[in-house]
Chain A
Amino acid sequence: MNHDFQSFDFRCKFGSKYFPYPIFTASGCASSGKELSQFFPLNEIGAVVTNSIALKPRSGRATPSMAETPSGMLNSIGLQGPGIDQFLEDDIPWLLSHNSRVVVSISGETVEEYASLARRLRVVPGLSGIEVNISCPNVENRGMVFACDPVASRAVVEAVRRNIGGELPIIVKLSPDVTDIVAIAGEVISAGADGLALINTLLGMAIDIDAQRPKLAGKTGGLSGPAIRPVAVRAIYQVHAAFRNTPILGMGGVTNGRDALELIMAGASAVSIGTANFGNPSAPIKVKEELEVLLKERGFNSVNDAVGVAHEK
């Protein structure tokens, strides 16, 4: 028997829910799970976080909606998806039948839309959590990015909390494109968030100097990938320093176990794999395996023992 393995605790907790592994997919980077299931069993990660789902079908934005940048990429997908009805009919049953833990990410254009989505999800059995995405930079009107406004952020989270009931954990996804992310975090925590997802993409832009126009049809897009990892580490570190008891789902350019451990040491309780899935469809499993080895090498008996250790030294 391997004594190390027996004593090692890989669990993480958001609200009332325990997850067996601290590795999740990032919303928008795993579609609805089917596509990745050819490359690894979905129940071998903590949870699949679905694409952010809206009330109605969304075509997404025009192509080109992607541009590779140094150690990163810009996207202006704009939350393409089938809408909540078809999503609940097709995607959720499939995921649950494959024993995947499911965190449903939701996105609305108004506070009332978030409330409606929460009401729809409240009655769905088998879910493990809700991610409230208030920070997608690819909506037509940047003014609608709730996460840039503390009052609007609070209103959305209060509405979701009121409508979802007490059982299902609410994880709120914030934008790093704000002056004071700690202030926004404070608002959503006091409004009832059980956890925070940090960080969404940063708004960026690239220009094709031959065509002399923006590379993306939508002009601007969200920057993701290893290029933004230091921003994620900073945001997680700042928020964890202020709110030690609120678990953070960290994300931003995590490609391997070392990257994941960096976010955990900054204060993340679990880590989502996003853009890395595009380059490596088995990235979540690779990160999980490497993380376990790195934690054991450093003498940690649980992932929880490593959360935020960089604050103590």
Chain B
Amino acid sequence: MTAINRRATQSDVEIISNKKVGAYHHMVFAAGAMAAYAKPGNFVAISVGGPSSSMILRRAFAIYRASDRGQYGGTIELVVAPHGQGSRWLTSLDIHDRVNMVGPLGTHFGIPTEPVSALLVGGGYGSAPLFGLAEILKERGCRVDMLLGASVAGKIYAPLEGKRSVNSLTITTEDGSTGLSGKVTDVLPSLIEKNRTEIIYSCGPMGMLAAVQEVSQKFDTLHQCAVEESMACGIGICMTCVLPVRDESGVIKMTRSCIDGPVMDGERVIWNSHRRIPEGTWGA
């Protein structure tokens, strides 16, 4: 990156829609100019709990869609899973309530210059940023296949309008309640072969991303993934969202997933390094 947080701004934004969709909430914010610079893969960081809250840290959310014009000016849309205290507070808010938002933050998915065959793999609400990406890839003439997985049907996020921008949609659930029974990696090899996939884009839990990378490596496809590490700040100052990544010269460095990610080259990430620093890491 040339300048850290270069496009980021901080402002109080109004909620203009909050709808429950399956296990998630689809929320729309009147984010003004912030929306103009948002790209698929970027995220926002939101203060939670109100002014007297004991929750002092921001919560990071991948941007589902961003639009810089419309009835409300620029809008940013999120898909929020209310599974923690902060996200439950956020999803409990009403239309016209305001929250403090910083964004857009982080790296975004890289778009190929040539029309290629792309496969987008999402786990749970990790599918959210992939729909905006699919639209852009389609506009560039790419073939776009999508593979979404979750534990149960209610945790698949696949809105109707999103489905229109893909050539094929495959769904897996671990309990078989919808789509194929199993995990995304069970069907990933056959989809790669069938669609002659050249690049995989993924977003979801770290375990899934690691498994996708393993398959990607076998088939020698490119793999861009949006990693999910817990963050305290989202802007590069707290150093809590680091993970080991091999840099261009081959040195493993603890790298911030907020400013050098969330979108990273899957091949560079040292996977399964939770709770340990891999041997040979710079400065270890």
How many A residues touch B, CB cutoff 8 Å? Answer: 43
| Least CB distance, A166 to chain B, in whole angstroms | 33
* Mask of B254-276 contacts with A, CB within 8 angstroms, 1/0: 10000100000000000001111
| Least CB distance, B262 to chain A, in whole angstroms | 15
| Least CB distance, A27 to chain B, in whole angstroms | 11
Cβ-based interface call for B236 (8 A): yes
Contact A73 B232 (CB under 8 A): yes
Contact A35 B254 (CB under 8 A): no
* Mask of A280-305 contacts with B, CB within 8 angstroms, 1/0: 11100000000000000000000000
- With A59-B281, A73-B232: A282-B240 Cβ-Cβ less than 8 Å: no
Contact B276 A217 (CB under 8 A): yes
Contact B4 A71 (CB under 8 A): no
- With A59-B277, A75-B240: A278-B229 Cβ-Cβ less than 8 Å: no
How many B residues touch A, CB cutoff 8 Å? Answer: 39
Question: For residue A280, which residues in chain B have a CB less than 8 angstroms away from its CB?
Answer: 10, 47, 100
Contact A59 B239 (CB under 8 A): no
Contact B239 A279 (CB under 8 A): no
Question: For residue B203, which residues in chain A have a CB less than 8 angstroms away from its CB?
Answer: none
- With A63-B240, A64-B275: A281-B235 Cβ-Cβ less than 8 Å: yes
| Least CB distance, B98 to chain A, in whole angstroms | 15
Cβ-based interface call for A34 (8 A): yes
Cβ-based interface call for B95 (8 A): no
Cβ-based interface call for A29 (8 A): yes
Contact B232 A278 (CB under 8 A): yes
Closest to B55 in A: A68
Bound: A28/B100 CA distance, A: 24
Contact A38 B274 (CB under 8 A): no
Task: Identify the 10 closest CB pairs spanning chains A and B, nearest first.
Answer: A57-B283, A66-B240, A278-B233, A35-B236, A59-B283, A59-B284, A38-B5, A217-B275, A31-B237, A71-B54
- With A59-B283, A63-B229: A35-B47 Cβ-Cβ less than 8 Å: no
Bound: A19/B235 CA distance, A: 27
Interface of chain A residues 53 through 79 with chain B (CB within 8 A): 56-66, 68, 70-73, 75, 77
Cβ-based interface call for B192 (8 A): no
Cβ-based interface call for B238 (8 A): yes
Contact B259 A35 (CB under 8 A): yes
| Least CB distance, B241 to chain A, in whole angstroms | 8
- With A36-B237, A80-B283: A279-B47 Cβ-Cβ less than 8 Å: yes
- With A57-B283, A59-B277, A60-B239: A66-B4 Cβ-Cβ less than 8 Å: no
| Least CB distance, B120 to chain A, in whole angstroms | 27
DSSP class of B's interface residues: helix, strand, loop or mixed?
A: loop
Cβ-based interface call for A232 (8 A): no
Question: For residue A281, which residues in chain B have a CB less than 8 angstroms away from its CB?
Answer: 10, 102, 233, 235, 237
Contact B282 A57 (CB under 8 A): yes
Cβ-based interface call for B8 (8 A): yes
Question: For residue A70, which residues in chain B have a CB less than 8 angstroms away from its CB?
Answer: 54
- With A60-B239, A75-B238, A80-B254: A38-B8 Cβ-Cβ less than 8 Å: yes
Interface of chain A residues 66 through 96 with chain B (CB within 8 A): 66, 68, 70-73, 75, 77, 80-83
Cβ-based interface call for B163 (8 A): no
9 further A-B contacts with Cβ under 8 Å, apart from A56-B283, A278-B238, are A35-B4, A35-B259, A59-B284, A62-B277, A63-B241, A64-B275, A217-B275, A279-B57, A280-B47
Cβ-based interface call for A30 (8 A): yes
| Least CB distance, B102 to chain A, in whole angstroms | 6
Contact B276 A73 (CB under 8 A): no
Bound: A57/B96 CA distance, A: 48
Closest to A253 in B: B56
Cβ-based interface call for B243 (8 A): yes
Contact B283 A58 (CB under 8 A): yes
